[in-house]
Structure 1
Amino acid sequence: MRRHTPSRGASVRRKMRPMTDPSWLLDAATFTGRHAVPLYFALLALVLGTAWLGSRWLLPDRGGPAAAPEPLAPAALLIRLAAGFLFIVGGAMLFAEIAEELHTERTLGLMDEAFITAMIDHVPDVVVHAFYLLTFLGNRDTLIAIAIVVTLGLLWRKRRGLALGWLLAMIGNALLNPTLKQVFERARPVHPTHWLTEEGFSFPSGHSSGTVVVLGMLAYLAVRLLPRRWHVPAWVAAAGLAFSVGASRVFLRVHFPSDVLAGFASGAAWLAVAIASVELARWSHRRRRAARSG
């Protein structure tokens, strides 16, 4: 019988495959878990700064009269659609990377556990209580109430197109997140706080994706309907609140950090799809109206 010998390519691949010890990653996760509060404020500052810079770049009308913007010109629409495409691709790639890592490797799951465990004795109860109050902003009932009120307000103002876009964005995410949870079936952390316990699967975080979509769409509506001076603050506030609600799920230990990050990624991708769809519909409507009048 001919003895099987590994090919030279397989031997080279084995030599090139890094024999990494995940212990330093677990130590890093433990360290960051022990310093979760200052880490939150550092990341919040980064999120707010990024949102401020990004919104100032994408929203050139930062001054002038207090009037809602006109439908975008083709060049401006193209720039925003390109940015939306990058958000879609980036969010999808980030989500896929996290999902693959959780499915094929144990390192990310162990880091999640190390981070959550390290938080238990290093986060003051007053901080946990503050996040307990904040997390209600992302509850299902809260988001449903916001969706209904905004829909009625848009219909009252006779903005049926925006109302339809808003509703489709809400419904789409409401269907997407539970579907992803059923696909991955990840169990929640086993060390919840006494403030809150949750049932159901953990990945991705519904609070994270829901607040990204709802608050992001509210910021988009602010750009469409409010005076220009509110446009950048609306996006900055939406980014800060969405990040904080997602962080609250980790501080309450009902989600792992990777759950929240994946929720942000899926929510941002769907938000970009929703906004791009509304902008395309508005631009198409403007073209048809111009053709009829011409």
Structure 2
Amino acid sequence: MNAEAAPLPQLVLWAAEHALASFSLLLALAWAAIWAGWYGLQRAQARRQALEVVPRLGIGWRVAVGLLISLAATAIFAALAAQLGEGAALSRADQALTGALRITVTRLTQQVFAVLTHLGDPATLTLLGLGVALALVMRGQRTLALGWAIALAGNGLLNPALKQVFGRARPLELHQLVSATGLSFPSGHSSGAVVAFGMLAYLALKLLPTRWQLPALLAAVTVVLTVGASRLFLRVHFASDVLAGFASGTAWLALGITVMELVLWRRAGRS
């Protein structure tokens, strides 16, 4: 571990020493949060229906919530970006955490996540994008197909542009389990997973029966967190790269869904 690296808080040290357990705990907490939110919304909708109140949020509220999420994610990204650079506390903590993971993550864990990381590969997301777009067009959902394509393509342009702006080098890769070239901040796999699988979850809420919607949400967050963790376990990104990828992807995803809701509302002629 670099002697100049910032000391890590005890909680972060524990997480690094128990990397796989920490990932499992984070995933369980995310599942619990989604289930609680889903259950709460379903109960609220049931009460509104019993009172003969329109169960859906009006377009104004939907736009406000979408923009708020996008702005919050953008602020998080900006806060991370402001702490980059040699000597910055975040950069030194990144180096320390990467060094700790080099020691604590087993070869078997790396091999498993070297396979799972391909869920966020550009080639994987491109094939997914084409397949989903085709399926939506065949179902007559041309507006959703266009929104899906713009969301994925837009992030595919945004992430490389951000990488060029910040020009951060990757951690030194020693294991050769995966090939990772180019710049590091923000993580393209992380942002791509957020946008692609977040949009899939949105489409599931729009198109699937209610009984499949919660499983779709849980599957989406599982893939996103798995891809993000894989970039850390394989040491091809720093922790702040992954967090920034999540933030930029969330900002773009929320903005895309907000615009999509406005377009669908306008075409339907109702709030």
Corresponding position of 2:82: 100
Corresponding position of 1:252: 234
Corresponding position of 2:26: 43
How many residue pairs align between the two structures?
261
Distance 2:225 2:65 in 1: 20
Corresponding position of 1:25: 8
Q: Is the 8 A contact 1:56 1:62 kept in 2?
A: no
Question: Which aligned pairs between 1:206-225 and structure 2 lie closer than 5 A?
Answer: 206-225=188-207
Deviations 1:172-213 (A, max 9, x none): 101110000000000000144231231100000000000110
Question: Which AA in structure 2 matches 1:78?
Answer: G
Q: Is the 8 A contact 1:52 1:235 kept in 2?
A: no
Question: Which AA in structure 1 matches 2:114?
Answer: Y
Corresponding position of 1:133: 115
Matched, 1:53 2:36: yes
Q: Name the CA shift for 1:93/1:281 in 2 (closer, same or farther; >3 Å).
A: same
Distance 1:194 1:260 in 2: 20
Question: Which AA in structure 1 matches 2:122?
Answer: R
Deviations 1:105-135 (A, max 9, x none): 6111111111111112211211111111100
Distance 2:101 2:64 in 1: 39
Question: Which aligned pairs between 1:1-294 and structure 2 lie closer than 5 A?
Answer: 24-25=7-8, 29-57=12-40, 75-103=57-85, 106-287=88-269
Distance 1:285 1:147 in 2: 24
Q: Is the 8 A contact 1:61 1:228 kept in 2?
A: no
Q: Name the CA shift for 1:179/1:60 in 2 (closer, same or farther; >3 Å).
A: farther
Q: Name the CA shift for 1:53/1:86 in 2 (closer, same or farther; >3 Å).
A: farther
Distance 1:171 1:233 in 2: 26
Q: Name the CA shift for 1:58/1:181 in 2 (closer, same or farther; >3 Å).
A: farther
Q: CA deviation at 1:238?
A: 0.5
Distance 2:97 2:206 in 1: 41
RMSD between aligned residues:
2.5
Structure ID, larger Rg? 1
Q: Name the CA shift for 1:244/1:43 in 2 (closer, same or farther; >3 Å).
A: same
Corresponding position of 1:3: none
Deviates more, 1:216-225 or 1:42-51: 42-51
Q: Is the 8 A contact 2:7 2:93 kept in 1?
A: no
Q: Name the CA shift for 1:121/1:146 in 2 (closer, same or farther; >3 Å).
A: same
Distance 2:93 2:197 in 1: 29
Q: Is the 8 A contact 1:58 1:80 kept in 2?
A: no
Identity %: 44
User: TM-score scaled by structure 1?
Assistant: 0.81
Q: Is the 8 A contact 2:168 2:183 kept in 1?
A: yes
Distance 1:104 1:272 in 2: 32
Deviates more, 1:213-222 or 1:80-89: 80-89
User: TM-score scaled by structure 2?
Assistant: 0.88
Deviates more, 1:263-272 or 1:48-57: 48-57
Question: Which AA in structure 2 matches 1:35?
Answer: H
